Amino acid sequence: MEITTVNDVKLLIALLVPLIGTLGVMFMGKNENVREGVSSAASVILLLLVASMVPAVLEGKVLVYHMFTVFNGIEGVTDPLTIKLRADGMSMIFALVASSLWTIAVYYSMGYMRAHQEHAQTRFNACFALAIFGAIGVAFADNLFTMYLFYEVVSVCTYPLVAHAQDKDGYNGAQKYIVYLTTTAKLFLLPALILIYVITGTLDFPTNISDGLFTDGLSSGNIQNWTVIMLYIFCLFGFAKNGVMPFHHWLPGAMVAPTPVSALLHAVAVVKVGVFCTTRTMLYVFGVDTMHALNLGIPTAYFVGFTVIAASVLALSKNNLKERLAYSTISQLSYIILGVALLTPAGIDGGLIHIVNHAFSKITLFFCAGAIMIAHHKKDISQMGGLGKSMPITFACFFIASLSMIGAPPVAGFVTKWNLLVGSIQAHQMGILLILIASTMLNVGYFAPITYKAFFGKRPEGETYQGIQEAPLSMLIPIMIACTISVLIGIFPNFMMQFVKAVTG
Amino acid sequence: MDQLLINPDYPYILSTLIFLPLAGALLLLFIKNDDFARYWALGITALTAILSIPLVMAFDTSTSKYQFVEQVSWIQSLNIQYVIGIDGISILLVMLTTLIMPLCVLASWTYIKTRVQAFMICLLIMETAMLGVFMALDFVLFYVLWEAMLIPMYLLIGIWGGPRRIYASIKFFLYTLAGSVMLLVAIIWLYIFNGYSFFIPDMMWQNYSSTAQILLFLAFFLAFAIKVPMFPFHTWLPAAHVEAPTAGSVILASVLLKMGTYGFLRFAIPITPEATMTLAPYILWLSIAGIIYGGFTALAQHDMKKLIAYSSVGHMGFVTLGIFVLNTAGVEGAILQMLNHGITTGALFLCIGMIYERTHSRELSSATGVGKYMPIYVTFLTFFSLSSFGFPATNSFVGEFLILAGTFEYSIPLALAAIPGAVLAAAYMLRMLQKIVWGGTDNPDQSWLNDLNLREIITLSPFLFFVFWIGLGAQPFIDLIHVSVANLLDNYHAFHGQAMAVTDLILH
């Protein structure tokens, strides 16, 4: 497919919408209806803007927008260091997910925060919008520097969300969160960023996934193999938001946040920023050719395969619903990296599409967990036996979304699993196949009992569920929308698959 | 004298900048009125700042020669001249000094309650001396001004400082004085060797013997390393910072520390290139030690001013690292980082000063949880803290990026050794920021605190403006320094090329 680059100011506007939304929220903080109106208006405008870029991207165009030139390169040898935006197939995957889920999450969190009578809702909404600003920036980043910038923006702007409760647990969780994320970013990403710039002279992503930045340097011998391998490892660990073990502890720790934040962290903004950055770097900085040449793909697949299994086993042992979901997230995120690391067309397809599939299904699960919190004020799974009769819609949606996590048809996760299985066969990796099968079993093991017990299990001793009913409509409707989309993208995977195909060609 | 360029449009601009504050100080001697002193000092420093703007406008970025030069014979019998000029290495520092002084006056508006007139006189004399140091091209002139700075600074700390001000000011005075004694010896040696001339540009790139170079370099090093301060010559700094009034801390951090690194660039490298080459690896590792040491020590502080003071040790370690990798990225990054550190750390000291003015405590624990009551204040503080640990799109990131890029070009292990410093910087700045904005569950009652007033917002805003301007578009700043840096490095490499050729001749 011929690739044409077009300048488009819409990218800049899309980036600025959440930022302006943040300011609007801050200044309208006095009146909560106006404030929430600003949030939701911003989210809808953002979604429309992103959607308006779809036709051009599907035609094979790459939209770009140049924002700043920080400096014109070193001694004329290197490219300028710039802040630039681009919309291509890969950015659209993430941008569409982030913007559409923001519109849903705004309503949900409005319902949740009001039902809970949470304090500091203005701060909460402002930081929520700022986190989306960072996520959109990451999605549209045209070079590694821009991506790093917005990656850090997300880290800092979500701190107030995690620390929201301002109690001891809140501060501890938030401290863990910020320490893990900034330390890995500074320790690994910063040197990787600068060293890549020094040895390749550029940080700009190429327009296809095969070249990468190192191909010339490696073939001419100017760049040593071990340097590239070191940089690769730095990038894999540096984007610690991807939840790959051993730098995953921040994620369960961040569970202290209010549930809409957990949904945002674990489905949309934060973790997806992590995997998006990781896969973007694998495909557009290192490139499939270099990854093949240095044999980086399969070891990565096995390495994250460990996370897939280990996190699932840990999830089994958790009784707190949000914690179980957190470990499920860690496991599912590694699916994405595993798929891309297989470096086969089906593997990359499966990995990238899972960014979408996991987002919609996991946000449904977290929304349900939040609805249970509001209705029942309980966090533990053992306390939810028989609750399905009082909250049938919530648990039905929970069931459908957990099917997606397991990878059963016709829900979205099936598309992923199918592609990953094909990918691992294409790559002749029986071990990966076994990991995927084992993880599916484990997924069944920790998801199935929740809904089973809710509908058919016994009530806990002395529990009558008197007066417990579904959460308010402002929460229930977002749950149903997210759940429906999870099904729709399972039955009609082609819409999102188009963007994935635009990446793999 | 072909290195000098006289700008006919602005014949006396540098002298005006130097003597205007001094004249202002002299006039202030005769009027005993606190309010008048404040407005007068603000007027004079603001006028100096405005008058310095043509320097940037008319600065010729295509030449490495000294510009806006003025040359008058001063003491004929010793061949001492009054010769001043600026080039790419000094212009940013001159601008930093002129622009920061009015803000220092503003920051002292209510902070200084006693002997206002004397305080403002000290500030104005400081400005004269500092500008002179960056402009002087005659070594005696340089030395006189270098020493002259000590006295007003000593008074600033010793009179308007905190409880241990006498200890701090004497320590400051002795350290810096001890450093400059050897400098004086070096100057006299150079004077005799160069045909009884103190003219600095003529001393550069000469073939001094190896031993002489090493000794000269060590003399320079002692003077400048104390000033920077480089680990392990840094112990005077936390004491001085902690006790100094806000304006004193700002001047100290933003301008005085830069004189050490400026000295390395202006004197040590061009006058003793051979010794520079021999000793650079040691200085690089000393810089790394400073970066790590500063970071760890800052992390352990409970006193906000001490925290920022130790962070300066780390940040200045990055600057010396950039200087002594001796490549374009490193040196340009270092000069830019000198400016950045001046902006960011200056602003942070102002922020701490504003809290101190309200709570009368520098303890971190007494300033916890003010975020809720001082939203404007913590917004400023957040941006300055982010800038301080090199958050992308802020000024310090660009400087650090260039320095580390230069270091990676020089040696990958060395650059990797500096990275923990960046991690530590994030750790101690975020720790402080978290404590001040959020605190914990047992915050003291801060509800009586007032948010920033207009004067304070005006004081901080220019800093924020530069944080983002340099962070998002540093090229105009790099353009100012580029040719001078290129010339410095070309000369340095040419010198070693020549030396190599001579050795080859002897050997074959």
Strand A61-71 and strand A4-7: pairing? Answer: parallel
- State both tokens at B197: 């001339």
**Structure-model confidence comparison of residues B1 and B342, the more confident one:** B342
Distance CA B279, CA A246 (A): 41
| Cβ-Cβ contacts under 8 Å for B329 (sequence gap 6 or more) | A74, A75, B402, B403, B405, B406, B409
Whether B501 is covered by a domain: the verdict is yes
pLDDT of residue A2: 61
Whether the CB of A152 is below 8 Å from some CB of chain B: the reply is yes
User: Structure tokens of A302?
Assistant: 């096995």
pLDDT at B2 > cutoff 80: no
Looking at residue A457, what is its pLDDT?
79
Are residues B441 and A166 in contact, defined by beta-carbon separation less than 8 angstroms?
yes
Query: How far is it, in rounded angstroms, from Cα A464 to Cα A383?
Result: 11
Peptide linkage before B232 cis (omega within 30 of 0): yes
Residues in chain A with CB shorter than 8 Å from the CB of B398 are: 70-71, 81
At B502 the pLDDT is: 67
* Predicted local distance difference test score (pLDDT) of residue B130: 93
Inter-chain contact B438–A171, Cβ cutoff 8 Å? yes
Is residue B390 within 8 Å of B379, Cβ to Cβ? no
Q: Find out whether A338 and A308 touch, Cβ atoms under 8 Å.
A: yes
CA A304 to centroid of chain Cα atoms:
16
Please spell the DSSP secondary structure of A356-391, one letter per residue.
HHHHHHHHHHHHHHHHHHHHH---BGGG-TTGGGTS
By the 8 A CB rule, do A190 and B419 touch? yes
Domain tally, chain A: 1
How much is the pLDDT for A465? 73
A·B CB contacts under 8 A = 88
Q: Which of B328, B393, B423 sits opposite A183 (nearest CB)?
A: B423
- Find the CB nearest A194 among B408, B423, B426: B408
pLDDT at B46: 94
Least Cα separation, residue B247 to chain A (angstroms): 30
- Per the domain annotation, does B5 fall within a domain? no
**A9 near B CB under 8 A:** no
A61 forms bridges with which residues in the sheet? A4
Handedness of CA B249, B254, B259, B261 (dihedral sign): positive
What pLDDT sits at residue A44? 92
In a 3-state reduction of DSSP, which class is residue A1?
A: coil
> How far is the CA of B305 from the CAs of A89, B162, B302, B387, in angstroms?
50, 12, 9, 17
Alpha carbon of B486: minimum distance to chain A alpha carbons (Å): 9
Measured distance CA(B472)–CA(B51) in Å, rounded: 26
**Angle at Cα B502 formed by Cα B496 and Cα B507, nearest 5°?**
125
Residue ranges of chain B whose CB lies within 8 Å of a chain A CB: 328-329, 386, 389-393, 398, 401-402, 404-405, 408-409, 412, 415-416, 419-420, 422-423, 425-427, 430, 434, 438, 440-441, 471-475, 478
| Chain B contact probe: residue of A70, A172, A183, A228 with most B CBs at under 10 A | A70
Binned at pLDDT 50, 70 and 90, residue B341 comes out as: very high
Query: Side by side, which strands form the sheet with A81-87?
Result: A4-7, A61-71, A81-87
Q: Give just the sign of the alpha carbon dihedral B100, B106, B112, B115.
A: positive
pLDDT over 60 at B264, yes or no = yes
Residues of chain A positioned with their CB less than 8 A from the CB of B419: 186-187, 190-191
SS3 A344: coil
Residue with tokens 């991807």: A242
The mean of the pLDDT values for chain B is 89
pLDDT in the model for residue A30: 77
Cross-chain residue pair A71–B474, CB shorter than 8 Å: yes
CA angle A328, A330, A336 (to 5 degrees): 105
Shortest Cα distance, chain A CAs vs residue B80, angstroms: 38
Residue B193 lies in a domain: yes
Tokens of A434: 């076994």
Cα separation of B112 and B108, whole Å? 5
Name chain B contacts of A144, Cβ cutoff 8 Å.
none
Q: Which of A145, A186, A227 sits opposite B423 (nearest CB)?
A: A186
- By the 8 A CB rule, do B158 and B147 touch? no
Which residues of chain A does B404 touch, with a Cβ-Cβ cutoff of 8 Å?
Answer: 190-191, 194
Rounded CA-CA distance A386/A455 in Å is 5
- For B73, B143, B181, B189, the CA distances from B78, given in Å and listed in that order, are 10, 15, 20, 14
Neighbours of B243 (CB within 10 A): 25
Q: Find the domain containing A411 and state its range.
A: 335-505
Assess contact for A182 and A155: CB atoms under 8 A: yes
Percent of chain B with pLDDT over 70: 98
For residues B423 and B431, is the Cβ–Cβ distance under 8 A?
A: no
- C-alpha closest to that of B292 among B386, B415, B408, B424: B424
Least confident of A379-393, B14-28, B136-150: A379-393
State the pairing for strand pair B67-75/A4-7: unpaired
| Most distant CA pair in chain B, distance | 81
Q: Residue B324 pLDDT > 90, yes or no?
A: yes
pLDDT band at B99 (very low <50, low <70, confident <90, very high): very high
Whether the predicted pLDDT of B504 surpasses 70? no
Task: Give the burial class of A297: count Cβ atoms within 10 A of its Cβ; 0-12 exposed, 13-18 middle, 19 or more buried.
Answer: buried
DSSP 8-state secondary structure symbol assigned to residue B444: P
In sequence order, the β-bridge partners of residue B192 are none
A30 lies within 8 A of chain B by CB: no
Percent of chain B with pLDDT over 90: 52
The minimal CB distance from B472 to the residues A68, A163, A199 is found for A68
CB distance B393–A149 less than 8 Å? yes
| Residue B1: pLDDT over 70 | no
DSSP string spanning A138-196?
HHTB-BHHHHHHHHHHHHHHHHHHHTTT-SHHHHHHHHHHHHHHHHHIIIIIHHHHHHH
Residue B453 predicted with pLDDT over 80: yes
- Nearest CA to B306 out of B432, B397, B208 is that of B432
The answer to whether residue A480 is domain-embedded is yes
B409 → chain A, closest CA residue: A198
- Distance (Å, whole) CA B426 – CA A183: 8
What is the three-state SS of B400-442?
A: HHHHHHHHHHHCHHHHHHHHHHHHHHHHHHHHHHHHHHCCCCC
Residue of A115, A439, A132, A388 lying closest to A270 (CA atoms): A132
Other C-beta atoms lying within 10 Å of the C-beta of residue B486: 16
A478-504 burial: b if 16+ Cβ within 10 Å, else e: bbbbbbebbbebbeebeebbebbbbbb
Q: B475 vs A72: CB contact, 8 Å cut-off?
A: yes
Domain count, chain B: 1
Q: Do A75 and B329 touch (CB under 8 A)?
A: yes
**Phi, psi for residue B44 in degrees, rounded to 5:** -65, -45
| Whole-angstrom distance, CA of residue A197 vs CA of residue A194 | 5
What digits encode the pLDDT tens for the residues B198-218? 888 888 888 888 888 999 999
pLDDT tens series, chain A, 505 aa: 567 888 888 899 999 999 998 888 888 877 878 888 888 899 999 999 999 999 988 888 889 999 888 888 887 778 899 999 999 889 999 999 999 888 888 888 888 888 777 777 888 888 888 999 999 999 999 999 999 999 999 999 888 888 887 888 888 888 888 889 999 999 999 999 999 999 888 899 988 888 888 888 888 888 888 899 999 999 999 998 888 888 888 888 888 888 888 887 777 788 899 999 999 999 999 988 888 888 888 999 999 999 999 999 999 888 888 888 889 999 999 999 999 999 988 899 999 999 998 999 899 998 888 888 888 877 888 888 778 788 888 888 999 999 888 888 888 888 888 888 999 998 888 899 999 999 999 999 888 888 888 888 787 777 777 777 787 888 888 899 999 999 998 888 888 888 888 888 7
Q: Identify whether the C-beta of residue A264 lies closer than 8 Å to the C-beta of residue A299.
A: no
Is there a cis peptide before residue A191, judged by omega within 30 degrees of 0?
A: no
Q: Taking a C-beta distance cutoff of 8 angstroms, is the pair A199, A227 a contact?
A: yes
Annotate A239-252 with DSSP letters as a single string.
Answer: -GGG--TTS-THHH
pLDDT at B498 over 80: no
Q: Does the structure show a pLDDT above 70 at B505?
A: no
Tokens of B262: 């400026």
Helix ranges restricted to H, A29-143? 32-58, 89-116, 121-139
pLDDT average, residue stretch B139-164: 89
The mean per-residue pLDDT over the stretch B429-440 comes to 88
Decide if B391 and A152 are in contact by the 8 Å CB cutoff: yes
Q: B163-178: b or e for each residue (b if 16 or more CB lie within 10 Å)?
A: eebeebbebbbebbee
Report if residue B300 sits inside a domain: yes
How far from A422 is each of A282, A345, A443, B74, B358, CA to CA, in Å? 20, 9, 20, 86, 66
This model of the complex carries an ipTM of: 0.91
Indicate whether B503 pLDDT > 70: no
- Domain hosting B96: range is 13-507
Beta carbons of A312 and A328 less than 8 angstroms apart: yes
As a residue count, chain B comes to 508
pLDDT the model gives residue B255 = 92
Rounded CA-CA distance A316/B90 in Å is 64
Nearest to A71 among B398, B425, B426 (CB): B398
Q: Which of B335, B397, B443 should one mutate to test binding to chain A, selecting the residue with the greatest count of A CBs within 10 A?
A: B397
Inter-chain residue contact A156 with B405, CB threshold 8 Å: no
Task: Tell whether A384 is covered by a domain.
Answer: yes
